């Protein structure tokens, strides 16, 4: 007499360690950081004198600044993502899907950065960059909220007050990016200042470090 076992997986069921999801996320973020450089094109002036080459290089300064801003922001995202996973002892389907949602918007950053670098004074380009970053920050906030308050993926090593502090910290990014998107229609350079402020704030260690 044979018996069959039916396996069903709850979205909250702890499936495995975080090593694979961390390696997967690291690879995608590294690729996206590399893709940013492709928007910087080497100028080819017809008469490559120092003056003419300098003029051509001046044209790509906005693209270079957009590259620096976006690379720096991605570096901060990667570092915070790395530290966020330290106390997590496993993964589940819900965590994997939320993390994929974060990575979807991370993949949009090169496009938004290229648009911002090409049209730095355009209200729409500034707003679109902020909108993409808002979605990235919101998905990171959702990841923090799920892991700390709606899953069993962290143990007692992270007390409630630290979880609450880390979640509140994660809320600042979406708020500043949303403010930047609103400001972009009236004061686009103030919006860019806000976009610079967000990664600077998240450079500093959080409650999990």
Give residue-wise pLDDT tens across range 100-121: 999 999 999 999 999 999 999 9
Q: What percent of the chain has pLDDT over 90?
A: 68
Which tens digits make up the pLDDT trace of 24-57? 999 999 999 999 999 898 888 888 888 888 998 9
Residues of the chain with pLDDT under 50: 1-8
pLDDT of residue 178: 98
- Tell me the whole-structure pTM to 2 decimals: 0.88
SS (H, E, C) the chain: CCCCCCCCCCCCCCCECCHHHHHHHHHHHHHHHHHHHHHCCCCCCCCCCHHHHHHHHHHCHHHHHHHHHHHHHHHHHHHHHHHHCCCECCECHHHHHHHHHHHHHHCCHHHHHHHHHHCCCCHHHHHHHHHHHHHHHHHHHHHHHHHHHCCCCECCCCCHHHHHHHHHHHHHHHHHHHHHHHHHCCCHHHHHHHHHHHHHHHHCCCCCC
């Amino acid at each position: 007499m044979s018996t069959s076992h039916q396996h069903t997986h709850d979205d909250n069921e702890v499936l495995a360690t975080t090593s694979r999801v961390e390696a997967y996320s690291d690879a995608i973020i590294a690729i996206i950081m590399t893709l940013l450089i492709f928007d910087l094109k080497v100028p080819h002036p017809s008469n490559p004198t120092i003056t003419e080459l300098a003029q051509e290089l001046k044209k790509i300064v906005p693209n270079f600044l957009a590259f620096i801003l976006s690379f720096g922001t991605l570096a901060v995202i990667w570092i915070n993502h790395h530290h966020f996973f330290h106390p997590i002892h496993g993964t589940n389907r819900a965590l994997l899907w939320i993390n994929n949602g974060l990575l979807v918007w991370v993949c949009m950053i090169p496009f938004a950065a290229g648009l911002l670098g090409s049209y730095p004074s355009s209200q729409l380009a500034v707003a679109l960059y902020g909108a993409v970053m808002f979605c990235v920050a919101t998905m990171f906030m959702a990841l923090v909220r799920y892991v700390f308050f709606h899953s069993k993926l962290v143990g007692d090593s992270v007390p409630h007050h630290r979880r609450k502090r880390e979640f509140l910290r994660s809320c600042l990014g979406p708020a500043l990016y949303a403010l930047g998107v609103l400001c972009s229609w009236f004061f686009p350079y103030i919006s860019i200042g806000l976009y610079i402020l967000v990664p600077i704030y998240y450079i500093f260690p959080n409650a999990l470090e």
